[in-house]
Structure 1
Amino acid sequence: MKENTSKSRNNLKKYLPLWVGLALASGVLIGSKLNFNDTTKKIFATNSKKDKLNRLIDYIDYEYVDEVNTDSIVDVTVNAILENLDPHSVYIPKKEYAHSADDMRGAFIGIGVSFYIYKDSIAVIRPITGGPAYNAGIKAGDRIIYADGKKLFGELIERDSITNYLKGSINSKVALEIYRPSQNEKLNISLRRKEVPLISVDASYKLTDDLGYIKLNRFSETTFNEFKIALDKLKDEGITKLVLDLRNNPGGYISTAERVVDEFLGNKKLVLITKNKSGEINKTYATRRGDFEHGKLYVLINENSASASEIVAGALQDNDKGTIIGRRSFGKGLVQREMSLGDGSAVRLTIARYYTPTGRSIQKPYGQGNESYYSDYEKRYRNGELLHADSIKVADSLRYVTPKGKVVYGGGGIIPDVFIPKDTSMENETIQYVSRSGFLSYFIFEYLEKNRTIFSGMNFEDFRTKFEVDDKLSNEFLEYAKFDQAHIDLSGYTEELKRTIKANIAQQLYGPNEYEIILNEKDPMILKVLELEGKGHLDEK
C-alpha cells in the first residue's frame, strides 16, 4: 500500500507541470473565445473607468478586422487624455525619453562633439572643450567615418543611428577612424565615452569693468553649479553688478530655480508658494548662503521666458530685488512631476500651482484649448503688446503690492519693471528663423571649410575687433539660401544680417559664449541696462 502511494506521489510530481500547463493553455483558449459583452459586475474589476479603457484596447487587439499596432493606439489615447487636462501635462514616448532625460539631467554619455551630417558624412563642427574628443585631438572639420568598424558615411546615413554609435555607457571604449581634409590624412583614435555636459550657461563675461553678464538657457540638474562657477569667476574679476539673461529660457526644475534665486535674496525671504489638489501649501524661503545679496541686479525676460524663469523673475520682483527688463513673460504657473509608465515612457503631470511671494498666480488661461494657448504670441503681436507697454492688459482684481510699495500684477506672465519693445530690425523674425533653421550654420561651415586658415592663430578678441563680414559674404549667403525664390527680402537688414553671420562664425570657431558677445553688442535690452548705468556703450576689450 505504501509502495502504491509512493508511486502515485511520484507520478503526480512527474505530471503536475504538464497538467498545470494544460490548464493555463485551456484558460487562454477559453478566454480568446469568450464574448466581450460588458456587464455591470466584472471579474477582478476595481475601477470601471480604467477597465473600460483596457477593454477597448483588448477589443481592438483581438477583434478588429485589420492588424493594428496597439502601442500606437495607447500613445494616441494617452496624448488625448492629457490634452484635456492642461497644456503642460504631456506624454513622453519611450523613443524620446532618453533625450528628454538627458536634457533635464544636463548631461549625456558620449564622445563630446557638435556635428553636422554634411553631404554624406559626419563633419565635426567643434569638439566640446574638455570632452573625450577634445582631449583625443579631434578638430573642427574632421570627418568621423568609422566607429568600431561601423561605416558612418554614405547616402543612407541617419542622425539617430549615428548618435547610437557615438553615445554609449560610461567609460566604454570606441575606436574611431577620422579623416582630416585639411591634411588629407586618416587617423585612428581610440577613446572612452564620458559624461558630457549639456551647457546651461550660454555666456558669461564682463560687459563693463564692474558689470557682469550671465545667460541661462535652461534650469537642469547641473545649471546651478554652472551658474555658481560663472558668478564666482565674474566676482573674482571685480564685478559688483550683474545682468541675468533669461530670455527664451523655457524653464526646468523648480529646485534649480530656487537655488539661483537664493544667491540674490537675504535669509528667510519668501521665494515661492505652491498649492496642490488637496489644498496643501508649501513655502520655500531663501537661506544664508546667497553670495550676491548686496550686488546690483538686472534680469532680462521676454515672451519666451517661461516656468522656472518666471519663478526667478517673480521672486526677485516681489522681493524688490533688482530690475526686471524686457517684455511680459510666457505665463506658466503650473508645477509638473515626471512619472514612469513602466515601459520606458513617462508622463509629466501637473500636480500643483505655484504663486510668487506676493501671492500672485502668473498662469495664463488655457480653457480654450492648446492651440489657442500656444498662439498667444500672435495675439500679443496683433494687439500691439510687443511694441507698446500700454497695450498690456491688466486686471485690477489681480493687483498686488511688494514690500516697498511697487505694484505688480498676476494673470499671465511677469510684467517687467522696464519695458523694451520688440526691435523689428535687431530681432527680425526672418533673420532669427534662418539662423535657427540650419541654412546659416551650414553656410558658415562650408565657408570655414574653404577659409579656415584665415582664422588660424586668431584669438577671439582679434576676431571681434578686426574681422568684418563684407557685402560679398552676405550676398553669397543670400544666394546660398535662395531667398529670392522664397520671396523673402532682407535688403533692409544688411547690418543685422552681417552681425548674425559674424556671430555664427564666432560660434563655430570659438563657442556659444563668443556667439552671444557678438550679438549683444547692439542688443536693445543690454543697451538699456548700460543707459540705466549711465554708460552708453560696452567696454572695449
Structure 2
Amino acid sequence: MSERINDIMNEEPKRGRSAFQPLIYAILVVLGVYIGSNFSGNSTFTHRPAASENPNKLVNIINKIDEMYVDSVEKKALIEKAINAMLEDLDPHSYYISSEELASVQEPLQGNFEGIGVEFMIQKDTLVVVSPIQGGPSETAGIRAGDRIVEVDGEHIAGIGLTNSKVMEVLKGEKGTKVDLKIQRRGTDDILDFNITRDRIPIYSVVASTMVEPGVGYIKLTRFAKNSYEEFMMGMAKLDEAGAESIIFDLRGNGGGYLHVAIPMVEEFLEDDKLIVYTEGVNSPRSEYRSQRRGRYADKDVVILINSGSASASEIMAGALQDHDRSITVGRRSFGKGLVQDEIPLPDESALRLTVARYYTPTGRSIQRPYGEEIDYDNDYNDRYDSGELYSEEKIELNDSLKFTTPKGRIVYGGGGITPDVFVPIDTIGASWYFSDLSYAGTIRRYGFDYSDSHRDELSSYSDVESFLKGFKVTNVMMEGLFKAGEEDGYERDERAIAESGEVMKIRLKAHMAKNLFGDEAYYRALLEDDNVYDAALEVARNYKDYAIVDGELTLLSATEVEEAMTTN
C-alpha cells in the first residue's frame, strides 16, 4: 500500500509547453491505454473503456506516431512529456517522477542516502569538505573539515572543471562498497590516504534544538521526513530537561513531507481524542486522524513560526494547534497547500504523485489556495509582495464565507493558507542587491569557510557555540576580505549597499563561520541575531499567559486587564 504523503513545496518544476505541444495533446487520451498495455499487472492504470470507445484505435495512434512520424521520435521521452502535460491540467501538485529522478526526489523525505557522509563545496575546482556528517563513515575514518579531496579511486578530480554531479557520481554508492580517497590537509605536506566503506547517511530535518533563554526553547524543523518524529522527540526531550516551559517551533520554509509523520508531532501537544486533521476526496472517503493519548508536552506553551514557504504538513501542524487554541502563530501567511498526494510506484521504477484528497483542519478549514487556468499559481509570492501583504496585515484578503471559530472563540479563516495570530512584516532593513548577489552566489558562504578554516587554531579558543556567539566579532578587516572575494566572483564593490547592509552581512558571515566550527545548529542560532519574526516570537513566549481572545481575535492584554481578568476568575 502506497504511503499517503503531503508533497514538498519545492517540487520538481512543471515542464514548459514546447514545440511538441500539439503532438502531446494528440496522444494524451491514449496514455492510459498505452501504459496499461505495456505495464500489465498494475491496477493503477487499468482501463475500462465505455462502449463508444475504441481502445485499439488509440493504441494504434501512438504506434503510428512511432512508426510513421516525419522525424525520429524517442517514445519514452514523448510519453513523459505528455504525462506531465496531462497532470499539469489537474492541479499544481500532481506530477510524474522519472526513474532517473526518483531516488534524488525521495532522499530528503526518506531521511538518508548511501555514500561517504560529507558536506562539501567546490572551491576553485577543488572538492573541499565543509564537515563530515556526524556518525558517518568519513567522520569515523578521520576526515576533517577543510580537507581537500584530490583523488577518488585513482581518478584525479581537482582542477578539471569539477561539478556537483561529478562529485555525487564518484562519492555516492551502495552501502558496503569501498572508495579510496587521496586528501590534502592544511598544515600537512604529505598526501593522506583514506579507504572508506560507504554506509547509509542520515539527512537531518531537525536542524536546531536549543534553549534561547531561561524557560524558552527553540526548535527548527526543515521537513517532515521519515525520521523527523524521532529527531523531534530527541530535541524536545533535550529542551524539556533544560527547563523549557515555552517552545518556539520554527516551520518557516518547511515545505511539508509525510502526513503520517506530522500527526504524532501534533499529538504531543494535545489532550486525548482531539481531531488533528481529516482528509476527503471524491474517490477517498473521509479519514479522521485523532490524538490517541494525552501528549507529553500538552502543558507547554507553543509558539509556531510560519511564512509563505510553510506548506502542506507544516500547515497541518500550524492549523491543528491553532484550531485547538494550543498555540500562538507568528509570522506571515503560509503557502496554502491543502491537497494530499499518494505516491504510486510504476513498474519502470518511475512514480506518479497524484492528488487524491483534500485535507481539513479540526474546525473544518480547507486552506488550499485557488488554482486554475486564470490563476498564476507559481507567482503567488510576487502577488503578495505587489499587494502589500508582506508589509501589512490589513492587505491579507480574508473571505468571510470561509470563516471558522475555534472552541475558545478565536476566528480563523480557510481558503488560502494559515493566517498568523501575530503578524510580522517582512524585514527590509539591511537589504540590497549587492548583499543578495554575494549571498546567492555563495561568496559569503565560501569566504566564511575559508576564513574559519585558515584560522582554525586561533578560533579553537572558543570552546562551544555559546562562547563563540557571545565573544566573536566580525571585524572590518574580515569584511574587506569578503568584499575582495566578491570582486573575484565578479561583483563590483558597492559602497552605498555596504553602508545599508554591512551589519546584516556581518551576521550572515558570522553564521557561516559558526557552521564551519560547530555545525548546522550554530548556523541557525547565529542567524537569530537578526530575525524580526523570531524576536516577535520570543516576546510572545515571554508574555504567553497574558494573551486572551477578545472579539474573536487573540489579543495581548495590558497589565491592568490581566489583573482584572484574574480577579474576575
TM range (shorter): 0.7 to 0.9
Alignment of 1:116-515 (within 5 A): 116-278=121-283, 280-288=285-293, 290-368=295-373, 372-425=376-429, 431=435, 434-459=438-463, 460-482=465-487, 483-484=491-492, 489-515=497-523
How far residue 70 of structure 1 moved from its aligned partner, in angstroms, is 2.3
Query: Match for 2:94: what amino acid?
Result: S
Could you tell me whether the CA contact under 8 Å between 1:426 and 1:523 is conserved in 2? no
- Deviation sequence 1:472-531 (CA, Å, 0-9, x none): 322332342243379993431211111011111111221110011111123212222332
Q: Which moved further from structure 2: 105-114 or 487-496?
A: 487-496
Largest Rg, 1 or 2: 1
How far residue 52 of structure 1 moved from its aligned partner, in angstroms, is 6.4
Distance 1:59 1:475, change over 3 A: farther
Distance 1:57 1:508, change over 3 A: farther
Alignment of 1:75-90 (within 5 A): 75-90=80-95
Q: Secondary structure at the match of 1:260?
A: helix
Which whole-Å CA distance do the structure 2 matches of 1:204 and 1:369 have between them? 43
Q: Secondary structure at the match of 1:390?
A: helix
Query: Match for 2:339: what amino acid?
Result: L
Q: Corresponding residue for 2:525?
A: 517
How far residue 194 of structure 1 moved from its aligned partner, in angstroms, is 1.6
Distance 1:383 1:360, change over 3 A: same
Distance 1:313 1:431, change over 3 A: farther
Q: Which moved further from structure 2: 443-452 or 216-225?
A: 443-452
Query: Match for 2:122: what amino acid?
Result: I
Q: Which moved further from structure 2: 125-134 or 168-177?
A: 168-177
How far residue 96 of structure 1 moved from its aligned partner, in angstroms, is 1.6
Query: Match for 1:292: what amino acid?
Result: Y
In structure 1, stretches of 5+ residues that fail to align are 1-41, 536-541
Which whole-Å CA distance do the structure 1 matches of 2:411 and 2:56 have between them? 51
Distance 1:58 1:445, change over 3 A: farther
How far residue 291 of structure 1 moved from its aligned partner, in angstroms, is 1.1
In structure 2, stretches of 5+ residues that fail to align are 1-32, 38-46, 544-569
How far residue 186 of structure 1 moved from its aligned partner, in angstroms, is 1.4
Which whole-Å CA distance do the structure 2 matches of 1:266 and 1:427 have between them? 43
Q: Which moved further from structure 2: 54-63 or 69-78?
A: 54-63
Q: Secondary structure at the match of 2:419?
A: coil
Which whole-Å CA distance do the structure 2 matches of 1:153 and 1:468 have between them? 34
TM-score normalized with structure 2 length = 0.82
Number of matched pairs: 493
Query: Match for 1:215: what amino acid?
Result: K
Distance 1:284 1:429, change over 3 A: farther
Could you tell me whether the CA contact under 8 Å between 2:432 and 2:500 is conserved in 1? no
Distance 1:529 1:427, change over 3 A: farther
Q: Corresponding residue for 1:15?
A: none
Q: Secondary structure at the match of 1:100?
A: helix
Distance 1:85 1:429, change over 3 A: farther
How far residue 146 of structure 1 moved from its aligned partner, in angstroms, is 2.6
How far residue 434 of structure 1 moved from its aligned partner, in angstroms, is 3.9
Higher relative contact order (CA 8 A, sep 6+): 2
Which whole-Å CA distance do the structure 2 matches of 1:487 and 1:77 have between them? 51
Q: Secondary structure at the match of 1:446?
A: helix
Q: Secondary structure at the match of 2:455?
A: helix
- Deviation sequence 1:318-372 (CA, Å, 0-9, x none): 01101111111000000011112322221211010001000010000011367x1
Could you tell me whether the CA contact under 8 Å between 1:201 and 1:227 is conserved in 2? yes
How far residue 160 of structure 1 moved from its aligned partner, in angstroms, is 1.9
- Deviation sequence 1:422-461 (CA, Å, 0-9, x none): 1112677864664344222222233344433332353233
Q: Corresponding residue for 2:63?
A: 58
Distance 1:510 1:49, change over 3 A: farther
Query: Percentage identity across aligned positions?
Result: 40
Could you tell me whether the CA contact under 8 Å between 2:301 and 2:541 is conserved in 1? no
Query: Match for 1:72: what amino acid?
Result: A
Query: Match for 2:270: what amino acid?
Result: L
Which whole-Å CA distance do the structure 1 matches of 2:481 and 2:267 have between them? 49
Which whole-Å CA distance do the structure 2 matches of 1:533 and 1:469 have between them? 30
Q: Secondary structure at the match of 2:92?
A: coil
Q: Secondary structure at the match of 2:450?
A: helix
Could you tell me whether the CA contact under 8 Å between 2:248 and 2:538 is conserved in 1? no
Q: Secondary structure at the match of 2:183?
A: strand
Distance 1:434 1:361, change over 3 A: farther
Q: Which moved further from structure 2: 409-418 or 175-184?
A: 175-184
Query: Match for 1:75: what amino acid?
Result: E
Are residues 1:102 and 2:107 paired? yes
Which whole-Å CA distance do the structure 2 matches of 1:388 and 1:52 have between them? 58
Distance 1:295 1:430, change over 3 A: farther
Distance 1:265 1:68, change over 3 A: same
Could you tell me whether the CA contact under 8 Å between 2:434 and 2:494 is conserved in 1? no
How far residue 92 of structure 1 moved from its aligned partner, in angstroms, is 1.4
Query: Match for 1:173: what amino acid?
Result: K
Distance 1:155 1:324, change over 3 A: same
Measured on the aligned residues, the alpha-carbon RMSD in Å equals 2.4
TM-score normalized with structure 1 length = 0.86
How far residue 46 of structure 1 moved from its aligned partner, in angstroms, is 5.9
Query: Match for 1:112: what amino acid?
Result: G
